[in-house]
Amino acid sequence: MRHWFQFPIREGDTSRQAHCDMPPGTFEREIGKEGFFGPATHMYHSHPPTGWSDWEGPLRPRAFDTNKLPSLGHSPWDATPLLHNASLKVRLWQSDKSMNHLVRNGDGDECLFVHRGEGRLFCDYGHLSFSEGDYIILPRATSWRLEIEQPVTLLMIEATHGSYMNAERGLVGHHAVFDPAILEYPRLDDAFKAQSEQPGEWQVLLKARGQINRICFPFNPLDAQGWTGDLTVFKLNWRDIRPLMSHRYHLPPSAHTTFVANDFVICTFVPRPIESDPGALKVPFYHNNDDFDEVIFYHQGNFFSRDNIEAGMITLHPCGFTHGPHPKAFAAGARHSRTETDEVAVMIDSRLPLEVAELPDGVENIDYVNSWQVKS
C-alpha cells in the first residue's frame, strides 16, 4: 500500500480556505497532484503567477485556430491530426458530403463531438440522428457512416487502446451532472432497415495499428435484425448536462468530468451562474496541474477566462508551468461584472504529454504565450 505524505502546514499570510478571501494584494496559486484529486498547496503571491515578460523554449501555452484548417476528404480517416500520444488522438474532420462507405476504428473507442452540422448516423446498432452539441461515443471496432444533412465539423477524440467510461460521482450520486436516462442509442427503425437493403458492394475502411485496411462486401454489413446487451453507441448533448455548482466556491475542472478513459478525461464546460459570494474567486484559479496536459476546444459563447479566443479554437497548456485566467478576465472577475457564463467548451486532461501534429502555416497563434502580459 502507498499513501501520499500529507500533514497540515500553514506558513506566513494565507487564506483560511482555498479560493476564498485571499489576503489583500495577493494572488493564489494551486500546486496540485493527480489533476486536482491529490494533495495540494496554495501559494499566495505578490504578483500574478502568469506575469512573465518573456518566454524561450518549447514548453509553452499554445493556441490553434481550427477554422483555418483546410477541408480535406469525405472520410473520417481524412481528418486533420491535431494532438496525440500513446493513449489519445485528437483530430478534426469537416465534410459536406454523405459517406458512401463504412469506417471502423480498431485502435480504440471514438468520441465524436459535433461542433457544427447535423445528420444521421448508421452503425452496427442501428440509426441515430445527431446535431450540433452532441457527443457520440462509438465502441472500438463499431462499423459506422454518416448521412450529412448540414455540413459537419467534428472533433474526434480517440481513446487509443482504451474505452470510454462514466465518471464516479461520489456523494452526489450517479444521476448528477447528467442522468444516464438522458442517453440516446441507435434504433433498428425503418430508416435503418431501408438502408440495409441497398444493393451493391460496400467497403469498410478499418483503421488498425494506425493503418487503413479496405474490406469489401457484396452486401451492406449494417444488416442487424436485432441485438441485446449493454454495449452500444450512444449520444449526449451538452444541453442535457447539469453542472455541479457552488455559489461560495469555484469548483475545479474535475467536477465537470463527462467521460473517463485510460490516461485522460473529457470534461464539459456549460453555462452556469458565476459564484456570488463576495469572497469567492469568480474565475478559474491560477494553478500548476503538473501531472496532466490540459487541452480546451472552444465550441461557442464568450470564454470568460480567456482573451481573443473564438469558437473553433484549441488551447494546449502542457504540464509544468503555472496558468490561469488572462488579466482582463481576472479583473472582470474581481469586479463581479458578470453573473453567469455562457461558454461551452470541451476539455481534455491527458496524463501523458501530448505531441502537436504538423499543421498548416497560420493555424497556430504563436503570440498566445504573450497573452497573459499586462499591456501598458
C-alpha angle with apex 331: 46 to 256, nearest 5 degrees? 95
- Catalytic residue, from 250, 299, 317, 326: name it: 250
User: Is 287 labelled as part of a ligand binding site?
Assistant: yes
Distance CA 235, CA 241 (A): 12
Residue 101 is among the residues annotated as catalytic for this protein: no
148 — phi, psi (to 5°)? -95, 125
Q: CA-CA distance, 291 to 298, in Å (whole number)? A: 23
182 Rama sector, left if φ>0, alpha if ψ -120 to 50, beta otherwise = alpha
Q: How far apart are CA 157 and CA 259, in angstroms?
A: 11
Any idea which residue has 500533514 for its cell?
7
Any known ligand binding at 293?
A: yes
Four-point Cα dihedral 364, 367, 370, 372, nearest 10: -50
The DSSP call for residue 166 is P
291 is in an annotated binding site: no
Positive or negative: CA dihedral 343, 133, 260, 209: negative
Bind-site residues: 287, 293, 323
Bind-site residues for homogentisate: 323
Bind-site residues for Fe cation: 287, 293, 323
The residues annotated as belonging to the active site are 250
